[in-house]
Amino acid sequence: MTATKFSESIRTGYDCKGEHIILGGALLNGEAVPDTLIKIPLKTINRHGLIAGATGTGKTKTIQVLSEQLSQNGIPVVMMDIKGDFSGIAMPGEVKPFITERHEKMGIPYETKAFPVELLTLSKQDGVRLRATVSEFGPVLFSRILDLNDTQSGVVSVIFKYCDDHQIPLLDLKDFKKLLQYATEEGKAEFEKEYGRISTASTGSILRKIIELEQQGADIFFGELSFDINDLMRIDSNGNGYINIIRLTDIQDKPKLFSTFMLCLLAEIYSQMPEQGDSGRPELVIFIDEAHLIFDQASKALLDQIETIVKLIRSKGIGIYFITQNPTDVPNGVLAQLGLKIQHALRAFTANDRKAIKMTAENYPLSEFYKTDEVITQLGIGEALVTALNEKGIPTPLAACMMRAPMSRMDILTQSEIDTINNNSKLVKKYQETIDRESAYEILNKKIETAQEAAAQEQQRKTEAKETQRSAPQKSSAMNPIVKVLTSATFIRGAFGILSKILNK
């Protein structure tokens, strides 16, 4: 009796007329129940989501299952691959007895398939080079990456402002270092006149931080050609959306760089994409693995920014999915905005674990069929508790779900397979070269040279004329330097960072 009632409730709860993807089939008392497919409407994919669970419970395979079906529906995907275990999606899977048995139980035929993949990198790894210019970062994010205090951030804002005012391109770290030097040496008088005094103590500390960043290998992230977000939106000739795997294995111990990069990417995507509304299918879906890295150590201001961008980006048809071990890793303000929740098993070893499980269970819809907190600890590998938003945007009933197996390979690519993808990639070629066009470094060097020549000529003229002249006293800036910076366009742009970028659009 209960079984009939259960399958009835799942069938109506997950009924879906429009385009959708299928996660798997429902489980009751640990057993698959026939004819209870768990369907997620494409229409609500932009309402974001969470995939949580202990290590080895099936989170990454769940992302693979989701990505595959999005791609099949012509929706491109971005995957932040911190562990480097996602590349297998580029190759077809293998038919194995444990997989076909699994699929028979839920009544979904198993087929194998490979998906179009681009491998992207922030560092020297092979793949499509992701780069951004220093000016695209803006003073606030740039200061944050360098972990600067308020005074030092003020100096960074002044330097951005100077470059804005004089239309000097600020592309890479070499440019920025040159400006730091210029502001306290050759250009000291010029800076003092326009923006007030800049202390060498501040520029010295900033310079040390930049050198630190360079030593972490982050310098190659700054410069041109900067990445065009539209290159993430590609569809292949068969109508499958590209799976863009950003390989981040080498920055997992640099959470600050990772979170800043994430925020920069989201802001860029947000500002480039047209408004879409809630009606359609998603334009792009972003999976962020090890999402706790973003939220750990994030300041209140940064968390607010993340919360805001997550809220706003929905209307552009972008879905963001956070993957982490414990839902408590994600701040409440973000958690509250997530439509699809997929909870894999959690382990109850300690009192703290049990507390976390209770809290997690309370965040799921009440169910007459499950004792949620118990089920969370009993789920098998590749099984999860699911609640989604139906086509009307209403939460679906809680379902324990046996996830289908990925159509693509469940293991990583070999080096030669990776090489083949990169050799055939148009994007790798497009972003391969480092362009070093004339920017701050060259412009300031020229300026210094010209000034020195002029000074030498002047000196000669003076000696010839045997005249002594006293140069007019430097007019000091009328406005307090801090006030001047605070009211400058650059600072205002920077202070609100991404937000102002969004609001001005």
Ligand X SMILES: Nc1ncnc2c1ncn2[C@@H]1O[C@H](COP(=O)(O)OP(=O)(O)O)[C@@H](O)[C@H]1O
Burial class (CB in 10 A: 0-12, 13-18, 19+), 448: middle
Contacts of 225 (CB under 8 A, 6+ apart): 131, 430, 431, 433, 435
Q: What's the CA gap between 259 and 256, in Å, rounded?
A: 5
Closest distance between ligand X and the C-beta of residue 345, in Å? 9
58 binding partner (options Mg ion, ligand X, none; Cβ < 5 to 8 Å by kind):
ligand X
Of the pair 60, 488, the CB lying nearest Mg ion is at: 60
The DSSP H or E segment spanning 260 is helix 255-272
**Nearest alpha carbon to residue 263 among 97, 14, 80:** 80
Closest distance between ligand X and the C-beta of residue 500, in Å? 37
Of the pair 202, 324, the CB lying nearest Mg ion is at: 324
405 binding partner (options Mg ion, ligand X, none; Cβ < 5 to 8 Å by kind):
ligand X
18 binding partner (options Mg ion, ligand X, none; Cβ < 5 to 8 Å by kind):
none
Closest distance between ligand X and the C-beta of residue 412, in Å? 11
Identify the sign of the CA torsion 176, 177, 181, 186: negative
Of the pair 55, 167, the CB lying nearest ligand X is at: 55
Q: What's the CA gap between 237 and 5, in Å, rounded?
A: 45
Of the pair 223, 382, the CB lying nearest ligand X is at: 382
Whether 253 contacts 163, CB under 8 Å = no
* Angle in degrees, CA 215, 220, 225, rounded to 5: 165
Of the pair 58, 76, the CB lying nearest ligand X is at: 58
Exposure class string for 61-97: b at 16+ Cβ within 10 A, else e: bbbbbbbbbbbbbebbbbbbbbeeebbbbbbbbeeee
Closest distance between ligand X and the C-beta of residue 178, in Å? 45
Residue of minimal CB distance from Mg ion?
60
Whether 46 contacts 278, CB under 8 Å = yes
381 binding partner (options ligand X, Mg ion, none; Cβ < 5 to 8 Å by kind):
ligand X
Closest distance between Mg ion and the C-beta of residue 34, in Å? 30
Which residue bears the tokens 């076909």? 100
Of the pair 411, 438, the CB lying nearest Mg ion is at: 411
Q: Kindly report whether the peptide bond that precedes residue 225 is cis, defined as omega within 30 degrees of 0.
A: yes
Closest distance between ligand X and the C-beta of residue 123, in Å? 23
* Structure token pair of residue 362: 């309370």
139 binding partner (options Mg ion, ligand X, none; Cβ < 5 to 8 Å by kind):
none
Of the pair 127, 382, the CB lying nearest ligand X is at: 382
Closest distance between ligand X and the C-beta of residue 80, in Å? 13
Binding-residue total with Mg ion (CB under 5 A): 2
Of the pair 57, 425, the CB lying nearest ligand X is at: 57
- Find the part of the chain contacting Mg ion (CB under 5 A) among 52-60, 142-150, 431-439, 469-477: 52-60
60 binds Mg ion (CB under 5 A): yes
* Structure token pair of residue 187: 């250009």
309 binding partner (options ligand X, Mg ion, none; Cβ < 5 to 8 Å by kind):
none
Closest distance between Mg ion and the C-beta of residue 83, in Å? 6
The DSSP H or E segment spanning 375 is helix 372-378
Closest distance between ligand X and the C-beta of residue 297, in Å? 23
Query: Which residues are at the interface with ligand X (CB under 6 A)?
Result: 53, 55-61, 381-382, 403, 405, 410
- Find the part of the chain contacting Mg ion (CB under 5 A) among 57-65, 137-145, 276-284, 372-380: 57-65
**Nearest alpha carbon to residue 326 among 62, 45, 50, 83:** 50
Of the pair 90, 444, the CB lying nearest ligand X is at: 90
Burial class (CB in 10 A: 0-12, 13-18, 19+), 109: exposed
- Find the part of the chain contacting Mg ion (CB under 5 A) among 24-32, 54-62, 179-187, 328-336: 54-62
483 binding partner (options ligand X, Mg ion, none; Cβ < 5 to 8 Å by kind):
none
Which residue bears the tokens 């969470």? 50
Binding site for Mg ion (CB under 5 A): 59-60
